[in-house]
Structures are given as C-alpha cells and as structure tokens.
Amino acid sequence: MEFEVGCTLEYETEAALTPFVFNLEAARFPRQQIKAERLVTTPDLGVPDRFTMPESGNRLTRFVVPRGKLRVDYTATSGTCHRILVVAADRARWRARRWSGPARHLTDKPRPASRAMTMARDRSGRSSLSKM
C-alpha cells in the first residue's frame, strides 16, 4: 500500500543566523520503504546536516537560516508491506469473534486474579486494584 505525505512550514527569523532542527522526514523501516521524497527550502539553503536517531528511526534535518523568511516543503511517497495490514485485519476479526459470543465474563462467579493486579475490598465494601 502506498501513502503520500507532505507538509509546508513557513517561518520568519530576526536573528542573523538561526539554527533549525526539523523532524519531518518519513522514517525508514524494513516494513516501510520511502519510494520518493523531496525537501525544498526557500531560500535555497543547500544540503542540510542529517541525523537518524538509532533508537527510534526518527530522521532529523538541521539548517542554519539567515535573517528573513523561510519556507520548507517536504513530500514523500512511502510503501508499506501489505502482509502486515492483512495480519492486523485478521487480528481484528479474531477479537470481534471472540467477544461476539455469550457474555461469559458477566457471571456472578469470581474471576481469577491476574499475576500483576489483585482486587481488594475495604471495610465499606468498595473495591480497589492493588499490585501484587
């Protein structure tokens, strides 16, 4: 499946040189490939400094902008793996079938406590969750 994304940003700077760091480029992952992208600045600021955060895949772009108006236009076409979308759709159908049956979870029988949380009742009969 293909997606087209883009944005236009406009700024006006008063300082002689102003550094900007943008996080607007689409991330590159094995399941999301950038088929085409375009980053244009007006005025033309040349080739920006670029950095990709290793823990998140976020792509940062840095420009040093002279005094005046700045316009940044970014467009990209990305493709995703269609198999992931099918798996997500199958999971949603499974959840819908799972909860469309009889309401077994609404009986008066006590439910077993989970490992992480347990239900506790105070003297007034109100319940509260507490960690085990």
Domains of the chain listed by start with CATH number: 2-80 (2.60.40.2250)
Q: In this predicted structure, what is the pLDDT of residue 22?
A: 94
pLDDT beyond 80 at 69:
yes
Contacts of 30 (CB under 8 A, 6+ apart): none
pLDDT tens, residue by residue, 48-58 = 999 999 888 88
Higher-confidence residue of 56 and 38: namely 38
Q: Which of 66-80, 85-99, 102-116 has the highest mean pLDDT?
A: 66-80
Q: What mean pLDDT is reported for the chain?
A: 76
Q: In this predicted structure, what is the pLDDT of residue 56?
A: 85
